[in-house]
Amino acid sequence: MARYTGPSCRICRKEGDALFLKGARCYTDKCAFKKRPRIPGQHGPTKMNKKHTGYEVQLRAKQKVRKIYGLLEAAFRLYYDRAVSQSGNSGHNLLTLLEKRLDNVVYRLGFGMSRSQARMWVTHGHFMVNGKPVDIPSYSLRPGDTVTVRESSSLKQTLKDILDKTSSRDKSSWLEIDREAMKGRFLNVPQREELDPKLQESLIIEYYSR
């Protein structure tokens, strides 16, 4: 499976926002974006002050969301195609499709310090959906689905420790977590007001439909 393997902190600086791609480090003063909130490279400050074109604004909005969810361009475009083919608001459809991914739900529940770590746990077969093993990070959950840690998982204690570390993280209202049983439930598709207000999904739709 193709994936980005470059430095994560440069992505946050490039997009001008903390995207929490590196787990626990992103919540501390060691966060590279907190220490150097500017575009990487020797011409960074100059680029930050220049006037941005409409195309560039749309591109950056798209890249930001793509990087947050850890997708390559081909996969992200497929989600866009599915979103516009559905009824309703295409931008909201796109975000909900991304939120329903198994790796994202595992991260939201607190089983991963970052989405990339959650994706690794899923790929290694440590989770079950409705009692059946699933090792596909892009698996799309439906309301009522239950995500549990496999009884035979060799990382049960590690995952329990991660749950303790992420207990203070903001809770997602469309998910339910039982920390003792180490399982979570996908309650419903999130409404737009429940998602990150900084995401500009309308610009993404404009970018692809230009």
Give every strand in the sheet of 132-133, ordered side by side.
Answer: 132-133, 127-129, 146-149, 183-186, 175-178
- Is the predicted pLDDT of residue 90 greater than 60, yes or no? yes
Specify burial of residue 168 (Cβ count, 10 A radius: 0-12, 13-18, 19+): exposed
CA–CA separation, 11 vs 31, rounded Å? 12
> 85: which 2 tokens?
């083919």
What is the structure's pLDDT at 106?
97
What is the structure's pLDDT at 20?
59
Q: Using alpha carbons, select from 30, 52, 80, 23 the residue that is nearest to residue 15.
A: 52
3-class secondary structure, 37? coil
CA–CA separation, 79 vs 115, rounded Å? 18
State the pLDDT confidence band at 51, using cuts at 50, 70 and 90: confident
**What would the 3-class secondary structure string for 93-124 be?**
HHHHHHHCEHHHHHHHHCCCCCHHHHHHHHHC
- Is the predicted pLDDT of residue 130 greater than 60, yes or no? yes
Mean pLDDT of 9-36: 58
- Is the predicted pLDDT of residue 47 greater than 60, yes or no? no
What is the structure's pLDDT at 137?
97
- Is the predicted pLDDT of residue 44 greater than 60, yes or no? no
Contact (Cβ atoms closer than 8 angstroms) between residue 11 and residue 67:
yes
What is the structure's pLDDT at 26?
53
State the pLDDT confidence band at 168, using cuts at 50, 70 and 90: confident
What is the structure's pLDDT at 53?
87
Contact (Cβ atoms closer than 8 angstroms) between residue 144 and residue 185:
yes
CA–CA separation, 120 vs 137, rounded Å? 8
Q: Which domains does the chain have, with CATH numbers?
A: 8-98+197-208 (1.10.1050.10), 101-186 (3.10.290.10)
- Is the predicted pLDDT of residue 95 greater than 80, yes or no? yes
- Is the predicted pLDDT of residue 92 greater than 90, yes or no? yes
Average pLDDT, the chain: 85
The region of weakest confidence among 27-31, 134-138, 205-209 is 27-31
Specify burial of residue 75 (Cβ count, 10 A radius: 0-12, 13-18, 19+): middle
State the pTM of this model. Answer: 0.82
- Is the predicted pLDDT of residue 28 greater than 70, yes or no? no
Q: Using alpha carbons, select from 83, 73, 52 the residue that is nearest to residue 205.
A: 83
What is the structure's pLDDT at 210?
84
